[in-house]
Amino acid sequence: GAVVSQHPSRVICKSGTSVKIECRSLDFQATTMFWYRQFPKQSLMLMATSNEGSKATYEQGVEKDKFLINHASLTLSTLTVTSAHPEDSSFYICSAPPPSVRQETQYFGPGTRLLVL
């Protein structure tokens, strides 16, 4: 089945540094990927839509200069949390719709847990 991977699985960084999270579709190409954020014991909140070859689309209230998204190829999207602060600590999850099934269906990565000290 379709597989989406993320790297790293967890990262700890100091406040003020930037962190890059990778999302890869392993056996299919994805022109669109999605980035979600999930705080402890809460639901997933869509942050942005990553579009291969064009700018990402951000949801209301998400700072595009804070969360930089680059969809460099049909199998890779990266989320960079710039100048991270403790309130950015969260579980970041990406997803992608594989072309071989109904495109309303998405497959999720295993998530990246970010802790900013």
Partner 1 sequence: GQQLNQSPQSMFIQEGEDVSMNCTSSSIFNTWLWYKQDPGEGPVLLIALYKAGELTSNGRLTAQFGITRKDSFLNISASIPSDVGIYFCAGQRITGTYKYIFGTGTRLKVLA
Binds partner 1 by CB under 8 A, chosen from 45, 55, 73, 83: 45
> What's the CA gap between 58 and 55, in Å, rounded?
9
Query: Judged by CB under 8 A, how many residues of this single chain contact partner 1?
Result: 29
Rounded CA separation 82/79 (Å)? 9
Q: Per-residue contact track with partner 1, 4 to 43, x per CB under 8 A?
A: x-x-------------------------x-x-x-----xx
Task: Between 17 and 105, name the residue whose CB sits nearer to partner 1.
Answer: 105
Nearest to 114 by CA among 86, 94, 95: 86
Could you identify the residue written with the tokens 């680059």? 70
Taking CB under 8 A as the rule, does residue 67 contact partner 1? Answer: no
**Which residue, 19 or 109, is less far from partner 1 as judged by CB?**
109
Among 17, 63, 105, 117, binds partner 1 (CB under 8 A): 105
Q: Which of 81, 93, 114, 116 binds partner 1 (CB under 8 A)?
A: 93
Q: Which residues bind partner 1 (CB under 8 A)?
A: 4, 6, 32, 34, 36, 42-46, 49, 59-61, 91, 93, 95, 97, 102-111, 113
